[in-house]
Amino acid sequence: MSVTRREFLKLTAASAAASAIGSELMVGSAVMGSPAIDWHKSVCRFCGTGCGVMLGTRNGKAVAVKGDRKSTVNRGLLCVKGFYLHKIVHAKNRLLQPLVRKNGTLQPASWDEAMSLVAEKFSAIIKEHGPDAVAFYGSGQGTTEETYIANKLFKGHLSTNNFEGNPRLCMASAVGGYLTSFGADEPVGTYDDIEHAELFLLIGSNTAEAHPVLFDRLVARKKNHPSTKIITIDPRKTPTNKIVDLHLQVIPGYDLAVMHAIARILIKEGYTDEKFISESVTFSDGKKKISYEGYKRFLEKFTPEYAAEKAGIDPQDIVKAARMFGEAKTAMSMWTMGVNQRTRGVWLNNLMHNIHLLTGKLGKPGCDSFSLTGQPNACGGVREGGGLCHLLPGHRKVAVKQHREEIAAIWNVPASNIKPKPGKHTMAMFSAIAAGEIKAAYIMCTNPAHSLPNLNKYLQGLKDCFLVVADSFHPTETTKLADVVLPAAFWGEKEGVYGCTERRSQHMAQAIQPQGQARWDGEILMDLARRLGHGKNFEHFKTPEDVWTEYITTTKGRDMDLTGAPYSRLRKVRGLRWPVPDEKHPGTWHRFTEEDPLFPKEKAKGRRMYFYNKPDGRAVVFARPDKGPEEPVDAEYPLVLSTGRVLEHWHTMTMTGSVKQLVRAVPQPYVEINPEDAKELGFADKDTAIVETRRGELKLMVRVIDRPRKGTIFIPWHWPEKLANLLTTDAIDPGSKEPEYKICAARIRKA
C-alpha cells in the first residue's frame, strides 16, 4: 500500500472538516460573546509596541484575550504571542510558593522564612562590606511602580547605585543616541506618523517578527497607499522582506559607512532642508563643534563605492536608497536591536538621526527617527523611572546635585543617602558578581543567566553570590542558580502602568487574584524594606495607585511630564503620551515643536523646532568614524554570528515556552546557514553542527535557508537548552555600555 503523507493529510483534513461543519465549532465559541466573561483593560505583556488587550476572566480565571479595538496602537489586533496571554497566566511553570536553597536544592518555604533569610543576608553583607556589596537587577517588564519602589529602596535607603535593569542590554544605545543628538531621551514623534509616511527606512529591525503589530500597520499603510516605499538595511532576509522595496543586505557591522554615504548623497543632490539646518542643527565630531562645511568635508570619504565595498553591497543601491529617502516628502526610520546591540550602537543611532536632521524630516506628520523598543515597559519604568545605575526618576541623573536633592525630598531621605557616583552598569555588575565584589543580588522579573552575553564568564559568580530571584516562573536558568526564589504575581494579577515605545503610559487593571502564594513585586520589595528597617517611607503605599501618584510628582516640570496622567484618568483612556502636564492636556504628538506644551516659543523665535534640552536649542549632526565590529572575522573564525528572534517566541521563552501552539510553530532551536555556505561547508538541511566562537560552543540543528547573508550565520536565542549566549561577545559600547550581541566571529563544523 502506498499512500503518501500528503495524500493522507488531504484525506484526514477533508474528513475532519466535514465532520466539524455546522456542529462543534471552536472550543468556547460562546467565549467571546458570553456575558459571563468580565473584560479588563490591559496592555500586552510582550514587546514594547504597547498593544491594548482585553483580558477576559470567568470565576477568577483568565479565559480569553482579545485586542482592544479602542486602542489606537493596535485597533484590536493581536500578534500570535499576545493571542495566548491568558494561557500563560495559568501556565504549568508558574511558581506558586517561595523556594529556599537547603542542602543544595531549592525547597518550598514560607514567605516569612524566605524573606527573613533575604533580609538577614542583605543586612549582614551591607554591614560587613558596605552598600555597594549588594545590587539590584530589574527589568523592562516590571511595572513602573515596581521599579520605582525598588529604586527608592536601593538608591534612596540602602545607598547603593548598583541598580540596573535589562534595558541596558537592549535600549541603552538608543538612549545614548537620543540624548546626544536631540538632548532628551525617547522619540520626537509617535506611531501616528506611520499613517503619514511615504517612505520607511528599517535598519537592524526584523519588524515582521519582533514588532508584528507595527508591521501590520506598515502593511496597512502600503495597502491603502500603494506608493509607500520601504527600504531595509539588514544582513538577513527576514519575513519583513515581504513588503520591502529595496534591501541593502550589508555585512554585519559595516552599516555606519552606508549611513554616512546616504547623508553625503542627500547633501550633494540637494535633498537637504537648509533652512531647518541653519535654524535648528549644529555639527560635531563627537569631541568638539565643527562647521557644516567641516561636516561636508568629513563626508567626502564616504562615496557610495567606499561604503558599498565596506558593506559588501551594490553602490547603486546606496544611491537608490538615498534618493528614495530624499525624494519622499515624508520619511520615517525605525530600528531596534541590530542598531542598538553594537559596540558602536550610540554612533549608529546618531547617524540615523543625522539623515532626518539634514532633510528636516523630523517633528512633522510622517517624519521621525524612531527607535522601536523590545520590552513593554523599558521606556516607562526603566528609562523614565530612572531604573539604571546613573539615573533617578523623571529623566534625572545621580551625578547632578540638584537632581539628587529633588528626589531625596520626595523620598523623604537626606540627600546624602543618594550617592553621586553612578553604580555598576549591567556588565560591570555581573563582572563584580563574578569577582565576588558584589556578594548579594536581587533580580526581579528577568533571566540574566540566559540573557547575558558570554555566559560562561558569569554563571559561576551567580551561583556563588547570595542570589534572590523574584519571578512568576520556575525553573528559569536564573531561578535554578538562586538561593531564594520568590513567587511574583503575574500580568493580570496586579495593577500597574506600562510605558511603551511611543511615550505612551497605559494602565493595566488587576483582573484576578495572584495564584498560589504569589505576591505583587511591590509588596515583596516593601516587605524587604520593612525588614531592613526602612519601612516608614513605604507605609503610605497601600496600592499601586499610591506609588504612581508619588512617582508622577517626580515628573512634574520635567521633559517627560506625566502630571496630567493620574490613575483616575489612565483607567479610562487608552494611555497618554507625555508630556502631558495637566489633566486637560491630550498628550503630545511631536516634541520640540509648537505641539509640545514645553516648547519655549520666546526662545524659539519662529523656528519650527527647538531642542530645549540642548543649551542652544539645536540638535546635533554627528561626524562619527565608521568603526567596524569589535570582533571581525578572521581565518580562524571566518563566519559572522548574529543572534535574534522568531515571531512566536519571546526572549528566554519562560512565557511562550508554556504555550503549546507557539512551541509547535517553532519547535526546535537551530542555526541558519546560507545555501552557498552550506554547499561549501558540506552541510545539508537538518544536519547537526557545532558552532564555535572564542567563548564557547553549541551543538545545533542546521537550517539551510536563504536568509542570512553569505558568510554569516544566525541563531535565535530563545531556547534554554541551547543557550546562544554561550557564544556571544560581552564587548560593550563605550558610551551606552550595551553589549554587541549582534556580531561576533564564529566557525562551524559537523557534529
Partner 1 sequence: MNRKNLFALIMFPLLFLLLIAYACSSTTTTRKVANQSPVTPAAVSEDEKHLDVDFTISCLECHTEETPEVVADWSAGTHGKVNVGCFVCHGDGEDEYYASPGTDACLSCHDSLATEVAEAQTDETCFTCHDGHKLKFHAEQHGGFGASHPGWLRPDSHIKSTHSPQYTGD
Kindly tell me which of 345 and 669 has the beta carbon lying closer to partner 1: 669
Phi, psi of 687 (to 5 degrees): -65, 165
Cell of 732: 560593550
CA distance 153 to 585: 32
Kindly state the smallest distance separating residue 503's Cβ from partner 1, in Å. Answer: 14
Which residue of the set 47, 259, 337, 445 is catalytic?
337
Contact 481, 508 (CB under 8 A): no
Which residues sit at the interface with partner 1, rule CB under 8 A? 3, 5-6, 8-22, 25-29, 31-33, 54, 64-67, 69, 72, 74-78, 80, 83, 190-192, 194-195, 208-209, 212, 215-217, 219-220, 223, 239, 242-243, 589, 647-648, 660-668
Kindly state the smallest distance separating residue 327's Cβ from partner 1, in Å. Answer: 24
> What is the three-state SS of 424-455?
CCHHHHHHHHHCCCCCEEEEECCCHHHHCCCH
Number of H helices, E strands in the chain: 24, 29
Kindly state the smallest distance separating residue 146's Cβ from partner 1, in Å. Answer: 28
CA distance 201 to 180: 21
Kindly tell me which of 33 and 104 has the beta carbon lying closer to partner 1: 33
Burial (CB count <10 Å: 0-12, 13-18, 19+), residue 283: buried
Kindly tell me which of 188 and 307 has the beta carbon lying closer to partner 1: 188
Kindly state the smallest distance separating residue 194's Cβ from partner 1, in Å. Answer: 7
Q: How many CA atoms lie within 13 A of 119 on its CB side?
A: 19
Kindly tell me which of 5 and 287 has the beta carbon lying closer to partner 1: 5
CA 130 to each of CA 125, 154, 158, 253, 415: distance values in angstroms, whole numbers, following the listed order: 7, 13, 9, 41, 18
Tell me if residue 375 is catalytic: yes
Burial (CB count <10 Å: 0-12, 13-18, 19+), residue 678: buried
Contact 43, 508 (CB under 8 A): yes
Kindly tell me which of 67 and 338 has the beta carbon lying closer to partner 1: 67
Strands 289-290 and 281-284 come out as: antiparallel
Tell me if residue 374 is catalytic: yes
Cell of 64: 480569553
Kindly state the smallest distance separating residue 594's Cβ from partner 1, in Å. Answer: 18
CA distance 303 to 10: 56
Kindly tell me which of 25 and 400 has the beta carbon lying closer to partner 1: 25
Kindly tell me which of 197 and 726 has the beta carbon lying closer to partner 1: 197
CA distance 420 to 404: 8
Cell of 113: 522564612
Angle at 186 between CA 394 and CA 283, to 5 degrees: 115
**3-class DSSP state for residue 86?**
helix
Kindly state the smallest distance separating residue 504's Cβ from partner 1, in Å. Answer: 12
Which residue of the set 375, 506, 510, 515 is catalytic?
375
Kindly tell me which of 239 and 294 has the beta carbon lying closer to partner 1: 239
Cell of 606: 519662529
Which residue of the set 44, 51, 171, 429 is catalytic?
171
**3-class DSSP state for residue 641?**
strand
Kindly tell me which of 48 and 189 has the beta carbon lying closer to partner 1: 189
Tell me if residue 337 is catalytic: yes
For residue 58, what is the enclosing H or E element?
Answer: strand 52-58
CA distance 60 to 122: 36
Kindly tell me which of 603 and 686 has the beta carbon lying closer to partner 1: 686
Kindly state the smallest distance separating residue 28's Cβ from partner 1, in Å. Answer: 6
Which residue of the set 44, 51, 52, 81 is catalytic?
81
Kindly state the smallest distance separating residue 193's Cβ from partner 1, in Å. Answer: 8
CA 350 to each of CA 259, 294, 347: distance values in angstroms, whole numbers, following the listed order: 10, 17, 5
Phi, psi of 396 (to 5 degrees): -110, 165
Cell of 685: 538541511
Tell me if residue 107 is catalytic: no
Tell me if residue 170 is catalytic: yes
Q: Report CA 704 to chain centroid distance, whole Å.
A: 29
Kindly state the smallest distance separating residue 712's Cβ from partner 1, in Å. Answer: 22
Cα separation of the two ends of the chain: 37
The count of other CB atoms within 10 Å of the CB of residue 677 is 20
**3-class DSSP state for residue 460?**
helix
Which residue of the set 142, 374, 492, 499 is catalytic?
374
Burial (CB count <10 Å: 0-12, 13-18, 19+), residue 549: middle
Kindly state the smallest distance separating residue 253's Cβ from partner 1, in Å. Answer: 28
Closest CA to 497 of 444, 551, 541: 551
Strands 484-487 and 466-471 come out as: parallel
Tell me if residue 584 is catalytic: no
3-state helix, strand, coil in the chain (%, to 5): 35, 20, 45
Kindly tell me which of 76 and 711 has the beta carbon lying closer to partner 1: 76
Kindly state the smallest distance separating residue 657's Cβ from partner 1, in Å. Answer: 13
Kindly tell me which of 246 and 663 has the beta carbon lying closer to partner 1: 663
Kindly state the smallest distance separating residue 370's Cβ from partner 1, in Å. Answer: 14
- Known catalytic residues are 81, 170-171, 337, 374-375
